[in-house]
Amino acid sequence: MPDLRFEGIGMTSARTRDRLVQRLREQGIANESVLERIRNVPRHIFVDEALGSRAYEDTALPIGFGQTISQPYIVARMTEALLEGGAADNVLEVGTGCGYQTAVLAPLVKRLSTIERIEPLLTRARERLKELGIRNVRFRHGDGALGWKTQGPFDAILVAAAPLTVPEPLLKQLKVGGRLVVPIGPEGHQQLVRFTRREQRNDREQLGAVAFVPLLGGTS
């Protein structure tokens, strides 16, 4: 019997999710595997029950500790950008948050390592992914700007918070040909950027304006 908590009713129903996917398609998201993950991941279980009716709006929502769950378009755009251009067997996510981006991305890659600096958020995310039966994720409470050297080098790295400049440890933990998708800049002036590591340089592509919470160092 399906779990009705995951299936959703009313504003969390399959019809509501289908409308969200259609909006994302109209906004240019073309990767069908990514769109299917957006359709199938129950976003409402990653937010407080009081916000559940808004879970399939294309907007960021608060998750506590001064953090937000990213809007579905941004999750889809970053995931699509990460998967383009090569292998994604070994991937790092910086900024687990509530675990929604993790849940969208994990089944699309072979192995996902994820780091979160706020321990209660990491604990909650681990529980949600376990409930969803997602088993290919390694979790770490730590400073994401430092990466996770012992799990690298990575085919791709996704950063779900905005540093002022790209953290060098993350670029160094990419394989040659690997991609780093990261929002960069101060609040109100952030750009989503994709770096691709080459033998002697890092190629840089700007993917559009975004708004993220800042990437902070340390743990809490």
Could you say which residues of the chain have pLDDT below 50? 1-2
* pLDDT computed for residue 87 by the predictor: 84
pLDDT at 2: 45
Q: Is residue 54 part of a domain?
A: no
Q: What angle do CA 152, 155, 157 make, to 5 degrees?
A: 80
Q: Residue 169 sits in which domain range?
A: 60-210
pLDDT tens per residue across span 159-201:
999 999 999 999 999 999 999 999 999 999 999 999 999 999 9
195 within a domain of the structure (yes/no): yes
Give me the number of domains the chain comprises. 1
Q: Return all residues near 64 (Cβ < 8 A) that are at least 6 apart.
A: 48, 120, 121
If DSSP codes are grouped into helix, strand and coil, which group holds residue 208?
strand
Q: Is residue 194 part of a domain?
A: yes
- Within-domain flag for 164: yes
Catalytic residues: 70
* Residue 130 within a domain: yes
CATH of the domain at 175: 3.40.50.150
Q: What pLDDT, on the 0 to 100 scale, is given for residue 1?
A: 38
Q: What is the pLDDT of residue 209?
A: 95
Residue 65 lies in a domain: yes
The separation between CA 83 and the C-alpha centre of its own chain, rounded to angstroms, equals: 12
Find tokens 């690298």 and name the residue: 152
Decide if 107 is inside a domain: yes
CA 130 to chain CA centroid, Å, is: 17
In DSSP terms, 180 is beta-bridged to: 157, 195
Q: Is residue 129 part of a domain?
A: yes
